[in-house]
Structure 1
Amino acid sequence: MNRRVIPALAAALALSAAASVATVSTAEADDQTLTVMSLNTWHGGSQVPDGVNTTVQEIKASGTEVVALQETDKAVTKQIAEKLGWENYTQSGSDVDIISSQPIEKVDSLSDLAVAAKIKGVWVYSIHLGYTKYGPYNACFDKDSYETIYADEAERKEQAEKIVKWAGSAPSIIAGDLNSPSHMDWTEKTKAKHCDSVVEWPATKAFANGGYGDSYREVNPDEAASPGDTWSPKNATNSDYGNKPEPQDRIDFILYKGGSLDATSSKVYGGEKENWPSDHRAVITQFTL
């Protein structure tokens, strides 16, 4: 399937000490708020002309303080951060990293699955779940049974549960590409959009069961009026399935729990311009701390 080519996730999801961090900046910001973006960089900006610089321009225009990156690497992460003038970034050695205009206090990682940076006393995670057996294709193209759909979601469910367990109970923000829609979106109210299906997507359920709120859906509670689709502004049709319309869905999330964290605004960002540097839209949420 050439929906997109993503480096394979490591099979072992054990704690890793491989992440490193570049520190520290003295940038001034409101200590009572934190603005976070989740952005899949589409192979580090390599799929569009001048992709790294275009990515930098879009991040700068967004006004965000912290960006959870997916489909990047050490070199691209460093380039993006330095072009922004940000001295704080992780170097996980996998395809997830975090860049920040604010000082990073600590760093940790969970194999190739997630990297975490403590910023303003809050752990921020960039995550990227497995991409095979993409659920909307099961439902819309293959017309699979619910039993088959849930069976094919087992890997993402397991990965989500591992992240929840690893993150623990500290105030935390989990941002990334889940390669899964939300159980809060595929409802009776929206089944006409979703191939006449109502699906309790296991990955997002795992985070919800772990106490994580979905910042976008909390701020925009009507799933029909505000679908928040992030996949895909670049793909209108799917060549693998006879150029049928590509299912448009919300698969990028900013989740949170703990302490006094509260999502005060959340929006989907980008995708309108021809030179938008990703095949995903970004998500931006502002929190009060």
Structure 2
Amino acid sequence: MTSAKRRLAGVLAVLLLTMTGVATPAAAATNLTVLSFNIWMRGSHGGIGSVVNQIRASGANVVALSETGGGATEAIADALGWQHTEPGWDIDVISALPIQDTDWKSWNDTGARAITAKIAGVWVYAIHLDYTKYGPYNACFDKDSVSTILADETNRRRQAEQIAEWTGSSPGIVAGDLNSPSHQDWTAAAKSRHCGYEVAWPTTKAFTARGFTDSYRKLRPDPVADPGDTWSPVVKDNQGRPEPQDRIDFVFYRGGSITPESTRTFGGGTGWPSDHLAVLSSFTVS
């Protein structure tokens, strides 16, 4: 049978099943369990082996890494037997599932960078935003006005906007260290947790404006009862002042084919190799 005849036979079979009321088998849903994991200076504060062990313990099958480089990504992926992206920056995606495609982008004017891997039909992005002019210090240490705080967020906001725009409109997951709190956390109800401030942080708003949903706040909507702090399990003192504790690591998702099932912070305790907690979010992709 020629290839053309095989294609025609396939079409006729589908039509016959439809006409007789016999449903074609539905495609199986895929689980994507995504870990947003800043590994702290290439895993140098615990060793690559510790990073690998924590990824295994998390149950993740996709990890958005930040603070990689120097061969760290390759070493982690090889130890796990996973696939990986390799742009040569401090961000990467590693996956136990096949990586179908990859892409990356950088912006000279802001220094923003993003890398993405297509996994189970979904683009998964790893990002890491500018760490300078950290907003909670403006609030808790300098007691700046909200307008000053937001002015100092300008470059980080532009980075987030550039990355969010680059993702287009297709289903996707964006994960990483934003070096910024969330506008869903510094609310009026939670001011006592944040040095008396209410701030509509623009980095997270840049993603929600492009149709993304914060998986943690979707499933854990109360920032007072469930703050979800990821900064920092080890940094508690800043020159004799209490270090502001905050949620600055995220897993966002977009698209009706992606359903969040669970989310939590992950890590901490003896032997944890990072100065951040990770964020672990599980999705069903249909």
1:102 aligns with 2:100: no
* Equivalent residue runs for 1:261-280 within 5 Å: 261-271=258-268, 273-280=269-276
Residue 276 of structure 1 and its aligned partner are, at CA, apart by: 0.3
Per the alignment, residue 73 of structure 1 pairs with 69
Q: Identity over aligned residues, as a percent? A: 56
Q: Based on CA coordinates, which of the two structures has the bigger radius of gyration?
A: 2
- The one-letter amino acid paired with 1:254 is V
Per the alignment, residue 89 of structure 1 pairs with 84
Does the residue aligned with 1:191 lie in a helix, a strand or coil?
A: helix
Task: Determine the C-alpha separation between the residues in 2 that align with 1:267 and 1:281.
Answer: 10
Task: Determine the C-alpha separation between the residues in 1 that align with 2:115 and 2:29.
Answer: 23
Does the residue aligned with 2:227 lie in a helix, a strand or coil?
A: coil
Deviations 1:209-249 (A, max 9, x none): 1111000010101111110000000101112xxx1000000
1:202 aligns with 2:202: yes
Per the alignment, residue 117 of structure 1 pairs with 117
Deviating above 2 A after TM superposition, structure 1's stretches of 4 or more consecutive aligned residues are none
Does the aligned pair in 2 maintain the 1:170–1:259 contact within 8 Å? no
Structure 1 or 2: more helix by fraction: 2
Residue 85 of structure 1 and its aligned partner are, at CA, apart by: 1.8
Does the aligned pair in 1 maintain the 2:231–2:277 contact within 8 Å? yes
Per the alignment, residue 141 of structure 2 pairs with 141
- The one-letter amino acid paired with 1:250 is R
Task: Determine the C-alpha separation between the residues in 2 that align with 1:195 and 1:139.
Answer: 7
1:54 aligns with 2:61: no
Residue 113 of structure 1 and its aligned partner are, at CA, apart by: 1.3
* Equivalent residue runs for 1:170-189 within 5 Å: 170-189=170-189
Does the residue aligned with 1:105 lie in a helix, a strand or coil?
A: strand
Structure 1's 101 and 31: CA in aligned 2 closer, same or farther, altered over 3 A? farther
- The one-letter amino acid paired with 1:95 is D
Does the residue aligned with 1:225 lie in a helix, a strand or coil?
A: coil
Residue 74 of structure 1 and its aligned partner are, at CA, apart by: 5.3
> What TM-score, normalized by structure 2, do the two folds share?
0.87
> What TM-score, normalized by structure 1, do the two folds share?
0.86
- 1:254 maps to which of 243, 251, 266: 251
Task: Determine the C-alpha separation between the residues in 1 that align with 2:263 and 2:222.
Answer: 13
Does the aligned pair in 1 maintain the 2:212–2:252 contact within 8 Å? yes
Deviations 1:174-227 (A, max 9, x none): 000000000000011110110000000010111111111000010101111110
Does the residue aligned with 1:224 lie in a helix, a strand or coil?
A: coil
Residue 92 of structure 1 and its aligned partner are, at CA, apart by: 1.2
* Equivalent residue runs for 1:230-245 within 5 Å: 230-239=230-239, 243-245=240-242
Deviations 1:245-280 (A, max 9, x none): 000000000001023111110100001x22100000
Per the alignment, residue 7 of structure 1 pairs with none
Mark the runs of 5 or more structure 2 residues left unpaired by the alignment: 1-27, 107-111
Per the alignment, residue 287 of structure 1 pairs with 283
Does the aligned pair in 2 maintain the 1:130–1:155 contact within 8 Å? yes
Does the residue aligned with 2:225 lie in a helix, a strand or coil?
A: coil
Does the aligned pair in 2 maintain the 1:31–1:120 contact within 8 Å? no
- The one-letter amino acid paired with 1:110 is K
* Equivalent residue runs for 1:17-36 within 5 Å: 31-36=29-34
Does the aligned pair in 1 maintain the 2:124–2:174 contact within 8 Å? yes
- The one-letter amino acid paired with 1:72 is T
- The one-letter amino acid paired with 1:252 is D
Residue 32 of structure 1 and its aligned partner are, at CA, apart by: 2.2
Does the residue aligned with 1:44 lie in a helix, a strand or coil?
A: helix
Does the residue aligned with 2:169 lie in a helix, a strand or coil?
A: coil
Does the residue aligned with 1:114 lie in a helix, a strand or coil?
A: strand
Per the alignment, residue 128 of structure 1 pairs with 128
Mark the runs of 5 or more structure 1 residues left unpaired by the alignment: 1-29
Does the aligned pair in 2 maintain the 1:183–1:200 contact within 8 Å? yes
Task: Determine the C-alpha separation between the residues in 2 that align with 1:152 and 1:274.
Answer: 35
